[in-house]
Amino acid sequence: MSPAWPFITDPFFYALAVPAVLITGLSKSGFASGFGALATPLLALAVPAPQAAAVMLPLLIAMDATGVQQMWRHRDRALVRRLVPWGVLGIVIGTLLFGVLSDRAVAGVLGALTLLFLAQRLLFPIRRDGRPPPAWAAPLCSATSGFTSFVAHAGGPPLMAYVLPLKLAPMVASATMAAYFTAINLVKLVPYAALGLMDLRNLATSLLLLPLAPVGVWLGVRLVERTDPTWFYRLAYLGMAVAGVKLLWDGLGG
């Protein structure tokens, strides 16, 4: 029997969805960026992971619009042009592998890579006179970001693995990532629709949560403007650590 309402009615889902959307909005601004990777695994406690990802996608696009509108002029145009095509390639790979790789396998690999990156940064911290990342890191990290963004909206940690060592000003780093994910999430609409994930129930649920989408972004942008660069990067790494542990735990079946 079809549900009486076109949207998800489970109260437990909304108990998870409200903080997930707000945390994602904060991460979309660049503030505590890694925490955004937690949203889909959090919602997956109440609904199947593909449905959680489908509900989140329209909200992510709304957040992108809010963030880009406030930070567009600060983006690094050349860096965005360098990263987006590889991110789209990652989406294509994710589409081709949809249904082949389990959500658990993707989460485990992503969590392990995130924690390995953090371990490297702890052992070999970024120096002001240090070398920039090698040329191959841009396509590798952005393609991985596109892939993990497609399967779990967890594209932040792989992209940050490349962007953070560039030592950009906080607002430039945030604006560049906002512009990148705007393009990536718009592209994801096509395969999501083709795979039947954008159905009426998921879209109606997204619409119900939509008023929350710009709130976290707006708050995050204000915090980025007022945060010392040292604390900005500490919070970014903390977010990646939390996301990495959570994703690895999910991958190991915790």
In angstroms, the Cα distances linking 211 to 84, 126, 208 are 28, 38, 7
Averaged pLDDT for residues 10-37: 80
pTM: 0.77
Mean per-residue pLDDT over the chain, rounded:
82
Q: Parse the chain into domains and list their residue ranges.
A: 11-251
> What value does the mean pLDDT take over residues 13-24?
89
Tell me what pLDDT residue 126 has: 55
Report which of residues 205 and 251 the model is more confident about.
205
| pLDDT attached to residue 82 | 95
Contacts for 248 with CB less than 8 Å, ≥ 6 apart: 107, 108, 111, 112, 114, 115
Q: What integer is the mean pLDDT of 38-66? A: 85
Per-residue pLDDT at 2: 47
User: 14-28, 127-141, 149-163 — which is least confidently predicted?
Assistant: 127-141
Give CA–CA dist 241/227, Å, rounded.
20
The pLDDT assigned to 29 comes to: 67
pLDDT at 1: 42
Q: Which residues, at least 6 apart from 106, have a Cβ–Cβ distance to it below 8 Å?
A: 148, 151, 152, 251
Residue 124's Cα: distance from chain center in Å? 25
